[in-house]
Amino acid sequence: MNSTYNLRLNELNQMTLQLQSELHSALKEAQDASYAKTRFLARMSHEMRTPLTAVIGLSELMLNSGEIHGDSADKLDKIHIAGMTLLGIVNDILDISKIESDRFELHPIEYDTSSLINDIISLNTTRMNEKPIEFTLSIDKNLPGRLFGDNLRVKQVFNNLLSNAFKYTDSGTIKWDISFEQDGDNIWLISNIKDSGKGIKAEDIPKLFQDYMRVDTSANRETEGTGLGLSITKRLVSRMYGTISVASEYGNGSVFSVRILQKIISPIPIGKQTADNLMSNNYTKTKRTQSAGLIRTDLSYAHILVVDDMQTNLDIVKGMLMPYGIRVSCALSGSEAIDMIRAENPRYDVIFMDHMMPGIDGVETVRIIREEIDTDYAQNIPIIALTANAIAGTEQMFLASGFQAYISKPVDIMLLDSVLRKWVRKKSPTKHFIYPNLCDNIPALNI
């Protein structure tokens, strides 16, 4: 009896050990697959964002120069819009990966409500092209003027929904209603986007928010899209404690309704004049107009080193820095940058460092600067990551590796301006000026 019991116990122990071994192997295989996927996405992000940096950056510099007019400016503007559209697709793929791996985070900041709405309108009205569509905006004049939340993700939610309205409406009307409900120190930001487009079949509505799902593909085969926009939108809305719903009649349009929670920073409303300007699309014409008219702090006392293995990227960053009067030096490799920092001739105020470079990459370059050049200057000079690597966890990796900040490519001029103000600008008062031509004093580019 005891021998039979012991035999069964040994068999059970062997089965348990085998099962543990199989589970360990399966876990390691899953971890290896996850790591390989992360590496693939990092490489894909870099490889796609690198040419997009050139397309978006150079077209924006040329459009802002004021030297391109007429039909040429219109064609260049279409190139810029196409580049931004492709960038949006890349971002969608990366976002869904972040969400699936539970590494997606919101980064709330204070933001101007009117500017956010204007940016969304400006981007999406360009999507009308030659379509006979009447776009109208209805906005509550009592909407608080400043809110606290992840403004980039709020924009992404409304951009995704408005872009779908323009994609699937060939003619007719699109109306965006914006209102709010106050909830203590917070508000529920309420959006209703109604279009007279193709509409959605009743049986397809439950599938709308599934990953990679595009409904009625036979009818919509010529409409661009990855099938990720609505899935990401739903998840973003959920992260902001909100809800999203849709009502639609096939052939007669759709209504997408969203509620998201935002904190009130300033209860002062946007007011009737601002609301009227937004509704007549006169608040500002485009985000590019804002960028061109951005008041640049005079940083002519500063000398910045930009490190990138692509000459085109160096030219674009130089073009963006020139309006500040900054002196710019360039290095085409990590080893060249190390030699320049070691020489201290000149001493730079800030380094902008690319990540993925042949030979010594940006992270290793920073490690050598921080640890192997035994000077206070090398250990304390601010280093900003300027990289096409934008997968989840990238910013934290850079901050842990000796960088002070992180900017993804293509470079947003507003984000670049905030970084310059934080890490370059002197504490003493400085003069300001508006530099109207972003391309002055830049060597001619071979494009």
Burial of 65 (0-12, 13-18, 19+ CB in 10 A): middle
Rounded CA separation 333/329 (Å) = 13
| CA 180 from centroid of its chain's CA atoms | 26
CATH classification for the domain delimited by 13-100, as one of 3.30.70, 1.10.3470, 1.10.1760, 1.10.287: 1.10.287
The listed CATH number (3.40.50.1820, 3.30.565.10, 3.40.50.720, 3.40.50.620) that belongs to domain 109-287: 3.30.565.10
Instruction: Judge whether 13-100 and 296-433 match in fold.
Output: no
Residue-wise pLDDT tens for the chain (447 aa)? 566 767 777 777 777 777 777 777 777 776 666 666 666 666 666 677 777 777 777 777 777 766 777 777 777 777 777 777 677 667 766 666 666 555 667 778 888 898 888 878 877 776 666 678 889 999 999 999 999 998 878 988 998 899 889 888 888 999 999 999 999 999 999 999 999 998 888 888 888 877 545 554 444 444 444 456 788 889 889 989 999 999 998 988 999 999 999 999 988 999 998 888 888 875 544 444 445 556 778 888 999 999 998 888 888 888 888 888 899 999 999 999 999 999 998 999 999 999 888 889 999 999 999 999 989 999 999 999 987 665 555 677 888 888 998 887 778 777 788 889 888 875 443 343 333 333 333 333 333
pLDDT given at position 219: 45
Asked if 65 contacts 85 with a C-beta cutoff of 8 angstroms, the reply is no
The residues spanned by each domain of the chain are: 13-100, 109-287, 296-433
* CATH number of the 296-433 domain: 3.40.50.2300
pLDDT the model gives residue 287: 43
Instruction: Please tell me whether the peptide bond between 267 and the residue prior to it is cis, using omega within 30 degrees of 0.
Output: no
The pLDDT of residue 48 is 74
pLDDT for position 103: 61
Residues 6+ away with beta carbon under 8 Å from 400: none
User: Rounded to whole angstroms, how far apart are CA atoms 416 and 350?
Assistant: 13
